[in-house]
Structure 1
Amino acid sequence: MVLKAFFPTCCTSADSGLLVGRWVPEQNSAVVLAVVHFPFIPIQVKELLAQVQQASRVGVAVLGTWCHRRQEPEESLGHFLEGLGAIFSHEPWLQLCRERGSKLWSCKVTHRQVPTSPDAPGEDQVMLIFYDQRKVLLSQLHPPTALPDHQAGDATASTRGLAAVFDTVARSEALFRSDRFDEGLVRLSHWQSEGVEASIIVELAKQASGPVCLLFAYLLSLISAASACRVFKLWPLSFICSKLSTCEQLRHRLEQLTFIFSTQKAENASQLMRKANMLVSVLLDVALGLTLLSWLHGKDRIGQLADALVPVADLFIGTLLFTILVFLLPTTALYYLVFTLLRLLVVTVQGLIHLLVDLTNSLPLYALGLRLCRPYRLSAGVKFQVLEHEAGRPLRLLMQINPLPYNRVVHTYRLPSCGCHPKHSWGSLCRKLFFGELIYPWRQRGEKQD
């Protein structure tokens, strides 16, 4: 039987000690999370693992021993490593060792229980799989796309095995809070072995996010209560609000802000990603509005725009008088042509504006930026690269993350539309143009004519 041992690349240079991680029996694999360095007291290691299990709900245990032979080991250290299996009883017991002055690895798996079947092999074959612990911790594994029936079973099993590895690393964040520079009694090596990666700005933002969300949630509740007043439901105001796209946009943004500043924590990574996409969409909308206002107020552009619209208004009045005159004359073709051109132009401009607004509201900008700058955060699967292999040694593989394609990012994290999409497609415009509904929007095809 082949035993898969997932080993973090950050621990390849760690000192000798214990292998701490999780055993996945259904996959026959061991996920190593950290290395406990010598010297240590076994009871303190057990207390640390109990605290991590209580915080993360992950069955973290001592899986075996790790020996880094930077120099020839002493006999006492060798006997001590062999005797640790009796203190930390785990089945099976994994022993990894890196040879001195080379890249060769040796691995041994021992079973204390006697195999029930006489045909069972006495020793398992080990496959070492190296992984980047930081990328696996921060990434989110997405299920694969629909596959044919003959591949569905293999894909499901493979995805389930990878999901166990990703979930183990992601939920064991409590183990990664301490590093070897801490003054604790147990010294560890993991992805933060060079020091805790933290930012003062990030920590302050985390501390201030709670009160800020409470304040904005209270203000939004007041705005929602004011908008639900009966005054706004009277006939003139209700009719105007239903016809103006600005009111629809404000209502949509109010719902988004209520969801963003909700005091309830996101249930899963997908909901957190949706909140982030909505927040970036709102910020982009505000930034575009402020940019437009600052551009209009700068260098007296409002007056320039008004001066530029005066000839357009004169042209509109002249065209209106011309169409009235044409309507009184029997030249229907010219009348039809003029109206087809203050209708195709108007509908095209309206469609472009609606398309831009709908794109800003529904496009997952945060997810696309994450895919561009941190592609490993959105994982579609993994690929394995074979490292140096020597006969009699365990097979060593390097696990690399395949990023999610851009089309699947948009399909997975696309936000719901606010109803500002164009009302007419090019096909419907051509059809309405052919039947005259574009020129006479009040006339329908089913109506009879004299």
Structure 2
Amino acid sequence: MAHLIEAYVSRGFSEVLEGRTMITSSGRSEANAKAQPILSAMCEKLFTFEGEVCAGSKIKMVNELLEGIHLVAALEAISLCTQAGIHPWIVYDIVSNAAGNSWIFKNHIPQFLRGDTKVHSYRTVVQNLGVGDMAKSLIFPLPLLAVAHQQLILGSSHGQGDDSDATLVNVWGKLLGANIQDAASAELYEPEQLARQIIAKSTVVKRIGFIGLGAMGFGMATHLLKSNFCVVGYDVYKPTLTRFVNAGGLIGNSPAETSKDVDVLVVMVTNETQAESVLYGDLGAIAGASIILSSTVSPAFVSQLERRLQSRGLKLVDAPVSGGVKRASEGTLTIMASGTDEALTCTGSVLSALSEKLYVIRGGCGAGSGVKMINQLLAGVHIASGAEAMALGARLGLNTRMLFDFVKNSGGTSWFVSWEMHCL
């Protein structure tokens, strides 16, 4: 009796399977059983789906969905940083080690920045996004894929889409007016070297005010206590203040009281509205300290805030963070700091105590938040596209746990796929 299986062959891209062969086998159980010894000998990792003979093709479509969305998002992010005047190689270095990273970003963006025109032709990417046609036949919505596809179609309306050799860099240059390769060729500096120079000449800080003792803020503030700083904390949630006192901290009854007689004031609140309130609201911070704003806010807000604070004789450092609650409490955050040399020097010892990787971004206040915004853009796309891909896999009848295992080892993987979607 003849047996039929489908065997989809691909390369692994995880640290464990880098460059090694993966095979996805699908078919009836007896067919898979007979083929397993042969297929196992041919690959490093074998995924076996029992039932319909087409699981491999379906997995390929789901993975190409992720790769296509990640590629369009990566180019959009690099174009955005170019428009913002931030060197693309610096953004690449930071994001590829942060939550916005994906296999596509880490491995393909350098090709774009080096001007390799032999990769990523417009037509090839459009063909790979053809999974959308299949989704239409299923009457299944894929909103992120649709947006990515529309971006490419829009590129064709700018005169690039008819050329099979047109690169995506050219398409984005037409769409957004961003000359990525020229920006990548500009003079490069080393943000970590600038940070080391700032730390080396930083002034002595004894007393720190810390406003915003939420999940991230509490970990950061208690780590500063462990680093032998005197820290005065404030939060609107009273039980958190009790916890902070138990950890060895002092507390203020208002932002104004918390900022009194401190050398550095750290603001780690949720958003721009709260930052505005603690600095300019009733009983807002009034001291002449150097201020570190670590909240996730827009670059425009930070730039405007710096001008307002300067009129009061205050110095501001734009210092958004990345890394999560655990790393906040360990002092191993990634911090993207920007501001005047004077402001950075006054706060350098605090920034150093909180971070494992400290980057000083040129461009003044707002540049650090610009890098964080790009990282958040990519991270958000990866979360949403991961959910979209898994939903499509479920609609196609795939075992989503096995699909996840495949994706995390493939070109469709990302930081969030690897670390967050294991809960499926």
Is TM-score (shorter-chain normalized) higher than 0.5? no
Alignment TM-score, normalising by the size of structure 2: 0.24
Higher Cα Rg: structure 1 or 2?
1
Q: Which has the higher contact order (CA 8 A, sep 6+)?
A: 2
Alignment TM-score, normalising by the size of structure 1: 0.23
